[in-house]
Amino acid sequence: MPKKNQDILNLIPDPSQIESLKEVILANAVMCGEIPSPTFEEGQRLVFMRDRFTEAGMEHVSVDEKDNVAAILPGSSGERRILLSANLDTIHYAGADHAMTLGPDSITGRGICENSLGLGVLSSLPFVLERLGVQLKSDLLLVGTSQSIGVGNLGGIRFFLDNYPNEIDFGICLRAAQLGRLSYASLGMLRGEVQIEVPETYDWKRLPEGSAIIILNRLITQLQAIPLPSNPVTTINLGSVFAGNTFGMAAPTASLRFEVRSEEEDRTEWIEDQIQEIVEELAAENEVKVSLKVVARRNRGGISFSHPLVKTTRTVIESLGVRQIIAPSTGELCALIDKEIPAVTVGLTQGEHLHDRNETIKISPIYQGVAQLIGLLRAIDGGFCDE
């Protein structure tokens, strides 16, 4: 093993040291996760995070006008500034049961995977570093970001990065799952919704053409006919449909939510143009209202596979003995990439049933996940990731 790699591995704490602090990490993840936090309604959860940052004695604890919560854990010299982020918002509506259940080696509950564990680790980090006796030279900028997912379109982190006055040298985005994950690039991505409305004055004797579901069916058929290159990989995912009200009435409205992803520069824009043409054609041919609304976009980009930050992260992940999962991101990493900040997204444990009511994570891999994070922070702090 090259000496540099061995030096990096020496920076990773023994996971058993993290295990001895598990109560604080798990309690933060669970208490944070039991506070409902749908996108645009992150207020209560950010108060929890703000209080944790304040109690940890962090500096410049603040909540901005987009409801991001941020604080600085100052390093001994502040020669580098490392941003760590986890999103505050979830897909679950406020009235849903957010109670968590702890088993001997698992936590189950809405949003624990996406992304209460990330927040739990973020809020526990000052405590963990103190207990491990880790003193970094770099300043750590911890940020709980609002409006990240779905129609939030990374509004929180983009606002924070646009308005944070100082330079940020590196970024690490925390996700609960999967341990071994490494993202260092973002895909081109576009999320959209097509709405179909049949006017009240429609001639209903023309059934079944009068049903918005029939128009939706034509839309889906035409979307599937759009030619997609298999290399560079490009996909159109049909995510969800809503249509109609009951058995005996033609559906007056229908909608489709979809996501386009592509590894190719400008491919998503080309597909957007294709979809727009289909939408206009359907509206004209069927005398109904059809509209396309783009709710989120990501630019393709990222650092290279050979960037020292990527190499170091791979070295750290390999030492965990888990399978590396290298995948592009559509999350907060994209906002950091847009600002040309070298950044990665890492996973903290194993999880399943993502976005379901029974989202579940395993507890024991968290100790490795947090050890990985601290190893990576110390490596960045020690200059191993500088270009």
Partner 1 sequence: MSKIEKWLETNTFHYSEFWDILALVREKEKKGLTLSLCIPTLNEEKTIGKEIVIFRSELMERYPLFDEIAVIDSGSTDQTREVAKSFGADVYLASDILPEEGDKRGKGENLWKAIHQLRGDIICYVDADIKNIHPRFAYGLIAPLIYNDTIQYVKAFYDRPLAFSQGIRPSGGGRVTEILVRPLFSLFFPELTALIQPLSGEYAVRREVLEKVPFPIGYGVETSHILDVYNEYGLDAFGQTDLDQRVHRNQTTLALGKMSFGILQTFLRRMHAFGMFDKLPELETVYRQFQVQESRYEQVTFDIVEEERRPMIEVPAYREKFYGKK
Residue 26 contacts partner 1 per CB under 8 A: yes
Give the range of 97-105, 213-221, 229-237, 375-383 binding partner 1 by CB under 8 A: 97-105
Would you tell me how many other CB atoms lie within 10 Å of the CB of residue 325? 14
Paired sense of beta strands 325-326 and 188-197, if any = unpaired
Residue 127 contacts partner 1 per CB under 8 A: yes
Closer residue to partner 1 in complex, CB, 19/263? 19
Residue for token digits 């609960």? Answer: 176
Q: Please pick, from the candidates 18, 61, 100, 373, the single residue that binds partner 1 as defined by CB under 8 A.
A: 100
- Cβ partners under 8 Å of residue 224, min gap 6: 236
CB 25 within 8 A of CB 121: yes
Residue 229 contacts partner 1 per CB under 8 A: no
Give the range of 22-30, 263-271, 295-303, 308-316 binding partner 1 by CB under 8 A: 22-30
Please give the Cα distance from 375 to 312 (Å, whole number).
10
Closer residue to partner 1 in complex, CB, 2/104? 104
Collapsing DSSP to helix, strand or coil, 209 comes out as coil
Residue 359 contacts partner 1 per CB under 8 A: no
Closer residue to partner 1 in complex, CB, 11/29? 29
Amino acid (1-letter code) at residue 225: A
Would you tell me how many other CB atoms lie within 10 Å of the CB of residue 238? 13
Please give the Cα distance from 284 to 280 (Å, whole number).
6
Residue 96 contacts partner 1 per CB under 8 A: no
Please give the Cα distance from 255 to 241 (Å, whole number).
6
Helices (H), the chain: 3-9, 15-19, 22-33, 43-55, 117-132, 155-163, 212-224, 267-286, 308-320, 333-338, 364-381
Q: Whole-number minimum distance, CB 117 to partner 1, in Å? A: 13
Number of residues that bind partner 1 (CB under 8 A): 19
- In the chain, the N- to C-terminal Cα span, in Å, equals 21
Length of the chain: 387
Residue 24 contacts partner 1 per CB under 8 A: yes
Q: Whole-number minimum distance, CB 382 to partner 1, in Å? A: 29
Collapsing DSSP to helix, strand or coil, 216 comes out as helix
Q: Whole-number minimum distance, CB 364 to partner 1, in Å? A: 10
Give the range of 23-31, 177-185, 210-218, 311-319 binding partner 1 by CB under 8 A: 23-31
Write each residue from 29 to 68 as x if it is in contact with partner 1 (CB under 8 A), else as -, in one continuous string. -xx--x--------------------x-------------
Residues that bind partner 1 (CB under 8 A): 21-24, 26-28, 30-31, 34, 55, 99-105, 127
